[in-house]
Structure 1
Amino acid sequence: MSTPPQPQQPADQPPAQRPAVPPQPTAYPYPGPQSPAPGNFYAQPTQVSLPAQPLPGQPQPGNPYAQPQPYGPVPVPLSGGGGGAGRAVLWAVVGAVVASGAWAAGVFLIGGKGDGADLRGFAAPSNMCSEVDYSSFKDEYPEEDSKPTHSSLEDKALDESYCSVGLKKTGSSYADAYLTTQVDLHRKTDPAPEFTATWKNYGASHTGYDVDPVKGIGDEAYLVSQDTTSGSRYATLAVREGWVTYTMSYSAYLTSYDQDKNPPRLTEVSDWLKADTKSTLEKLKG
């Protein structure tokens, strides 16, 4: 799960106080079930009892698709006369049992979602900077960044693409603000629980940030922002759509602006992030 990128400070400008990002908690803080309790040398590991075997005709535990056999034992035809009729009865019963199993398998394989990742047609480009739309920022920052940075990752568990662009006002030699974007395609695990836990509660784990849910973008979205009077102005829009997560972050240092010029208000930045995120996600689906 990606956390919002921190603003960058040009090398020859006075340093500004960066928002502190506390370390994230580990995902598994509890001891294993066989580990003795800390400080108790007499605690014994828990004994694990094996589950009882299922009775005949009952579904196997842990397998919701295993159906009980409704027909009972298959009758064996008597020897002697009428063998043909007996075999017909035998194969009719066997065919019914097979058909029942095939129906259950068909519901699982065709009707369900299976184990596939819910990527909604998204792709992670090798060069995110060539795909991201940030046209809403161009009126405020018309100068192009000649050397934006980007990176990408392609793996069977995760596809990722990242871009960082320096935003410049007219006549600026250095970036007045920064815009970063990142898309992650989670191929093995559903990111929804961790995404919600990270962004919905971001204000509780990071002091000084405001968190607002955003409707109408993806399945779930949050706007995280911070505005300091002497340091920085910062906003991130985090979106989840299916098993795809996307972030677009803006950061500006107030010290990089002339005294007679002010950076855009957070309300303006928030509107720009929402508009450009929508258009970028549409492009990544193409």
Structure 2
Amino acid sequence: MSTPPPPPEQPPPIPPQPTAYPYPNPQSPSAQNPYAQPAAGDPPTAPQQANPYAVQPGHGYPPPAAPPAAGGNAAGRAVLWAVVGAVVASAAWAGALLLTGGFGSSADLRGYRAPANLCSSADYSSFKDEYPVDDSSPTKNVMKDPALDQSFCSLSLKKTSSSYGDAYLSMEVDLHRKTDPAPEFTATWKNYGDSHSDYDVTPVQGIGDEAYLVTQDTSKGSTTSGSRYATLAVRDGWTTFTMYYSAYFSSYDSDTDPPTLDDVTGWLKTDTKSTLEQLKD
């Protein structure tokens, strides 16, 4: 009887190749069953790392962490440091919220107050040369509330020869005690020209944290018809202040021309700065 030929030599197993994808090939048996044992004659495979965040079928929570491999505590130390890192990150997040007011910090009012009589507390002296006659009965009111303090003043501006008001000036200061007015203030005044036609909006530097000048001129060069309007709105911290000017030429003293918008906006800037200083404690 002849001796059977020896079986052909098997090629050596191909070692696993490095890859940037950290999870096993989904087509491999080890990916489908990470605990399956290799069949006889199959090349050995590297043990696959369990994914601690994978959700098993029929369960809503991650499976328990696999026990550390024999011969060392590397897996245990990795789990410990992961927990420590999560605690540190949570503490940093909580600290950031505390510093930025996420848990309800006190209002940043910058020392401003809302006086009972804003008409006598505000400065509008820049308008006196054009309108020297004082308003004997200006409109004023004040509101005090845990969420908002508000003071308002409205008065007529008169020339010497006028029987009625030639122009009008209004002021309002708001102390926001519960919420930061910055987002709504910016949205309202920066975009004023989008929601109101024929108005020009200009950012103003050097007054508070942010300020906007809103103007309109419908006179078209006439001094007897049309109107001119200007508002300077300022936010300083959680305090907002506005000063409004309006003049209607049909009732304006015909002996003199009304002031230009450049004149009015210059007066608004000067008197707003002065008034804000006077409204500080």
Please tell me whether residue 156 in structure 1 is matched to residue 146 in structure 2: yes
Q: Which has the higher contact order (CA 8 A, sep 6+)?
A: 1
More displaced 10-residue stretch of structure 1: 253-262 or 136-145? 253-262
Alignment partners' CA distance in 1, 2:157 and 2:201: 24
* Residue 146 (str. 1) matches residue 141 (str. 2): no
For residue 143 of structure 1, report the CA deviation from its aligned partner.
0.4
| TM-score of the two chains, using structure 2 as the length reference | 0.64
Question: 2:96 aligned with 1:124, yes or no?
Answer: no
Helix, strand or coil at the partner of 1:65: helix
CA distance in 2, matches of 1:52, 1:256: 77
Instruction: Pick the aligned partner of 2:247 from 249, 252, 259.
Output: 252
Partner of 1:214: 204
Q: 1:172 aligns with which of 151, 159, 162?
A: 162
What is the alpha-carbon distance in structure 2 between the residues aligned to residue 52 and residue 216 of structure 1? 56
Q: Do structure 1's residue 223 and structure 2's residue 249 form an aligned pair?
A: no
In structure 2, the residue matched to 1:237 is 232
Question: Counterparts of 1:52 and 1:280 in 2: how far apart (Å)?
Answer: 62
Distance 1:155 1:259, change over 3 A: same
Pair 1:273–1:64, CA change in 2 (3 A) = farther
Structure 1 partner of 2:91: 65
CA pair 175-258 structure 1, distance change in 2 beyond 3 A: closer
4+ residue runs of structure 1 moved beyond 4 angstroms? 55-60, 111-114
Q: Report the identity percentage.
A: 65
Q: Distance in 2 between matches of 1:224 and 1:283?
A: 24
Deviations 1:2-26 (A, max 9, x none): xxxxxxxxxxxxxxxxxxxxxxxxx
Compute the displacement of 1:127 (Å): 1.1
Q: Which residue of 2 aligns with 1:191?
A: 181
Which one has the largest radius of gyration? 2
Match of residue 262 from structure 1: 257
CA contact (8 A) 2:233 2:243 kept: yes
How far apart are the structure 2 equivalents of 1:266 and 1:66? 51
Q: Given that residues 133 and 159 in structure 2 are in contact (C-alpha distance below 8 angstroms), is that contact kept between their aligned partners in structure 1?
A: yes
Query: Mind listing any 5+ residue stretches in structure 2 that lack a counterpart?
Result: 1-59, 65-79, 220-224
SS for the counterpart of 2:91 is coil
What amino acid maps onto 2:157 in structure 1? L
Distance 1:65 1:177, change over 3 A: same
Judge conservation of contact 2:161–2:253 (CA < 8 Å) in 1: no
Q: Distance in 2 between matches of 1:236 and 1:108?
A: 36
2:173–2:239 CA contact under 8 A, matched in 1: yes
Which consecutive residues of structure 1, in runs of 5 or more, have no partner in the other structure? 1-50, 68-103
In 2, Cα distance between equivalents of 1:138 and 1:238: 21
Which secondary structure state, in structure 2, belongs to the residue aligned with residue 153 of structure 1?
strand
SS of the residue corresponding to residue 285 of structure 1 reads: coil
Offset of residue 64 of structure 1 = 3.9
Shift of the alpha carbon at 1:210?
Answer: 0.6
Amino acid at match of 1:262: D
Distance 1:213 1:155 in 2: 31
Q: Which residue of 2 aligns with 1:83?
A: none
Following TM superposition, by how much is the alpha carbon of 1:255 offset from its aligned partner in structure 2, in angstroms? 0.7
Q: By how many angstroms is 1:179 displaced?
A: 0.3
Q: How does 1:20-59 map to 2 (within 5 A)?
A: 57=83, 59=86
**Alpha-carbon distance change, 175 to 65 in structure 1, aligned in 2, over 3 angstroms:** same
Q: 2:189 is aligned with what amino acid?
A: W
Match of 2:278 among 258, 274, 283: 283
Asked if the contact 2:209/2:235 (under 8 Å) is kept, the reply is yes
Structure 1: how far apart are the matches of 2:202 and 2:160? 32
Q: Normalization by structure 1: what TM-score?
A: 0.63
In structure 2, relative to structure 1, the CA distance for the partners of 1:207 and 1:66 (3 Å cut) is: closer
